[in-house]
Each structure stands twice: as C-alpha cells, then as structure tokens.
Structure 1
Amino acid sequence: MYLKKESLDFVCHRVGALRALQRHRKEGRQVVYVDDPWFTTRMQHNKEWVDTSQPATSATYSCQGPPGKGELFVVVAGGTEHGFVNYSFLCFPAKSKTGDYHGEMSSTLGLCWPTLQLPPTLDEPLVLVLDNAPYHSQLTEESRCPTSATKKAELVNWLASHRIPFPHHATRLELLQLCRKNRP
C-alpha cells in the first residue's frame, strides 16, 4: 500500500493550529466547529446491518436505495463540546445530482452564515473552526500575495507597502520567497 507523506510545512501548520486551539480553550473561549456535509434522500451505508431473515419489503429490513440516488441536500451546522448549537442548522436542496455540491457553496454563504448565524446564539468570546474548503475564505486585496509571475518591481512595492524589510540587492526569487513567507 502506498501512502502519501505529508509535507513538513503542512505538519507544522497543523501543530500550530492545534496549539492555538489549546490556547483559546485555556483563555476560556468557546470552540464551535462548523461543517457542511450532504446527504441524499435514499442514502445507503456500506456497513449497515440488515436483517436478511426478513423479506426486503418488511419494515425491519432497513436497506435503503442505492447511493447517489434521490434528491441531494446540503446541511450546514455548528457544534460545540455540548452538542449542536441551537438554531444553527441550514439545510437546502442542491442542484447537483453528482454528490459534488461544492460549486453551489459560495464565500458569501461559507463566511457570512457562520459569522452571522452562530454568534447571537452563543456566549462570546468564541472561536469558529472551519475546514479548508475554498468557500470558507475570500481573497481580498489585503490578502493577495504576489505569484511567481509577479515582476520584481511589483514585489518590491508589495514588500514596502506591507512594511517588510528586504535587502535592496535581493533577486526577484529571493523577494518572492520573502513575500510568501510573509503572506497575510
């Protein structure tokens, strides 16, 4: 079996996030996890127990329709260590029939819903924990970082505008590396 090894940067980022989460808990912040799973009206579980001694038409025979059939729904909800947050459920039918509903999610929904819907029902201070889905972030002018196609003069301007010191004799690649290291 081949397993892909995680990069050192990714591992360090995860460790940093776990330490930050631990620090937030010690500071008394309530941690709220937000996720957006999907389901179909006729989902089937691969590990489902089925009473095969009963006919398939029996009420005790629990096998459902084939996976992927039926209407697809997206559910967004928040939960804490005490369970689901009251009034935090958002459920809507997806237009996609393939199970990939991510194109229907937007940064407006992915960012606004948790920040507007959850805080009024919770005690502050709180920390929202979201996965890394693209719609849970939004690229703004402040968060844009130069790319490998950015010209040297633009790299210099970006570093100067973000008050990041840099050696004036640095090459374009050194400047780009410095930009990436200081990405907002």
Structure 2
Amino acid sequence: MWRPWVNASASEHKSYVHLDIGAQRTVLAVHKKILAENGPYGAIKRTAELTEYSESTVKRVVARKEPRKPKVNKSKFTKIDSFTKDFIDRVISDFYSKNMSPTTMMIYEELTKDGASFPYSQSYLCKALKHLGYRYSTLNKRQILMDSPRLLNLRDQYLQEILRFRDLGKFIVFLDETWYDTHDVANKGWTKEDSNCTLDAPASRGKRIIILHAGSEDGWVDGALLLSAKNMANCSADYHEDMTAALFERWFENQLLPNIPAGSVIVMDNAPYHSRQKELVPCTNTKKGDIQKFLKKHQIDYPDKATKKMLLNIVKSKTFKKSYHVDEKAKERGCELICIIIIHFYLSTYFI
C-alpha cells in the first residue's frame, strides 16, 4: 500500500507525537478499512504497522473517533517576529523617556493606537512581555537617579577632563578603598544533619580591615597600600562609615603624595571623607554663637539683636569659596584632583 505521509521504513515506529488533522484522518481511515476486512482483533497493531506510528498513538487517535486539532504551544509565541519585538520595545522605552511607569493596559492601548496591527489580545500581551524578558517588578530608582540630567552633565565633564589630561601626557593616579572581614565564611553549602559537615569557623566576629590603595596604568603605587583594622563589634554595616576623613587625609599626605610624580592627576570619588572642608559654611544645625564667629571672621556686619534665622539669611546672601584639606595638600605638590560621582560606579578606578 502506498503511504505518501510516511518517509521512514516500516520497521521504524515513531514515538509519542502530535499528529496533524490530515495524519489523524489517515489513521482513522486505515483502521476502519482493517476493521471491515479482518474485524477488531489485531486492528490497532496492523494499523500501527501500516502507518508507522506507535500503537499508543494509534489507540489515542482511534479512541477520539474524530480528528482533533493539536494544541498550540503558546510558549513559543510564533507570532512574535523581529518587527513586533522592536515595536513593543520602542513603546515601553517611550513611556520611560516620559518618566511614566507603563502598565499592561497602557502598553496595549499604545500598541493598538491608530489602527496599528498587533497580533495579541490584551490578556495575552502579559505572557508575550514575559517571553521577551520583561518582568512586572519594583523599578530601579537608582538607575533613574544615575540618568538624571545633572548627573549626566557631571559625567560628561569628567570624561572631557580625563581625556584632556591624557592628551597632555599627564601621569594619572586612581585611588579607592574597600574592606575585608577576617572571619568571613560561606553561609551556605551542601550538608546533612547527621554528618560532620561543618566549617572550622572562629567564634568571634574578628576584625574589619579597610584597604586603601592607588594605582595607574603602570600598576600599583609603591608604598601607598594602607591596611587599617577595627574590631567587628565596633563596625557598622556599611564600611564607608568606618572610614574617617582623618585616616584618609593622613594616608593621602604621607603615603600617596610622596610616592607619585609632582604634577600628577589624582582621580577619586566624592565620598564625604575624601572631601572634608577646612571651614564649614554655617547651616541650620550650626549654633547661633558659631554663626556669629563665622561672620566676624569674614568681616561681615550683622545686627546686634539678630536672630539665628536672620544670621543664616545673611550667610546665604554671601558667596564663600569652599576649601578642602586634600586639595591644599595636592596643590603643594603641583597635583590636580578630579572627583567622579560615586553613583557612577562604572567610572570608578577599576573601569578606566
């Protein structure tokens, strides 16, 4: 018998498969013919031999009595082509460019606006978005802050400055700090309750070591490594709070500046302990007597019976040049300082 729907040999039976409607009709017709000629005994086995499908597949088709349309695997999203994917990406990107958080309904309305051809219903759009890698989750506000116009402008200024110094052939040094807890151990691992799967971890919390160093394209600066230890019981969760301006300034003056060429360019982030001012301009937290002393020092007159608020308004009406400890020390060596915004982590010393 000629069987145009089969390419394999009769001895090779196919495993569990989903047959299309045409193949199901063929199986039913062959089975019906065998029943009419030979009766029900061995009809399933003979049909499987002739159609070269497994007996289980033939039984399943015969049991239904009518061809059934096979289920569509929705997870494949066969309707999503590159044009539709780009269309969805553009719509969602436009919402965020307008500082709007899009919902499924907002996206669907935009996709179907002005009679645009979109192959999914609104209820199916959510699954399509997940297939494309989108997740309805908490927004990354840090990224929004990083992309603000003010910070983007500061980033561009930094890039222009660093390129200018490189063109001038300046020796550029990058500095940063990190930490290490001496008794850090792994928190998870494969273990059993009735076995000796334990770590030889010390009972005490140990010490936190602050590591401060500087380097350039030629490698680490000789003699600039600083290791400062502190008991963990006295440490905060954020190591930045364990680093002090006095410690940094002492390292900057005694270990960094003497070991780099005069006229170098020093790059660092704007952590508070990097930029301690020599003289703070009074603010609302400043005592009234200190504000008066500040105004007298700068030879600024004020009424004898002025209130604290009046004194602060006088301070705000004037412009004071900020002076930093590390800036003064760098100038003595003929060095220049560049500060990068700490939130732009990808511009840190390790990625320059």
Task: State the TM-score, normalized to the length of structure 2.
Answer: 0.35
Relative CO higher for 1 or 2, CA cutoff 8 Å, sep ≥ 6? 1
- Residue 34 (1) aligns with residue 175 (2): yes
**Partner-residue secondary structure (3-state), 2:269:** coil
The aligned amino acid for 1:72 is: R
1:20 and 1:42, CA in 2 relative to 1: closer, same or farther beyond 3 A?
A: same
- Report the counterpart of residue 74 of structure 2 in structure 1: none
- How far, CA to CA, are the matches of 1:110 and 1:16 in structure 2? 25
1:79-109 Cα distance to aligned partner (Å, 9 max, x none): 1112211111110212334443433322222
- Residue 154 (1) aligns with residue 292 (2): no
The farther-off stretch of 5-14 and 107-116 is 107-116
- Structure 1: which 4+ aligned runs deviate by more than 4 Å? 63-66
The aligned amino acid for 2:281 is: R
- The sequence identity of aligned pairs, in percent, is 28
**Partner-residue secondary structure (3-state), 2:183:** coil
- Report the counterpart of residue 256 of structure 2 in structure 1: 118
Gaps of 5+ in 2: 1-136, 285-308, 322-352
- How far, CA to CA, are the matches of 1:45 and 1:81 in structure 2? 34
The aligned amino acid for 1:154 is: V
- Residue 3 (1) aligns with residue 140 (2): yes
1:145 and 1:24, CA in 2 relative to 1: closer, same or farther beyond 3 A?
A: farther
- How far, CA to CA, are the matches of 1:44 and 1:14 in structure 2? 37
Gaps of 5+ in 1: 58-62, 163-184
Task: Write the mapping of 1:1-184 to structure 2, written as runs, cut at 5 A.
Answer: 1=137, 2-4=139-141, 5-6=144-145, 7-44=148-185, 69-95=205-231, 96-141=234-279, 144=281, 150-151=312-313, 153-156=314-317, 158-159=318-319
Task: State the TM-score, normalized to the length of structure 1.
Answer: 0.63
- How far, CA to CA, are the matches of 1:27 and 1:89 in structure 2? 28
1:109-134 Cα distance to aligned partner (Å, 9 max, x none): 22332243122222232111122211
Q: CA deviation at 1:154?
A: 3.4
Query: Higher strand share goes to which structure?
Result: 1
**Partner-residue secondary structure (3-state), 1:36:** strand
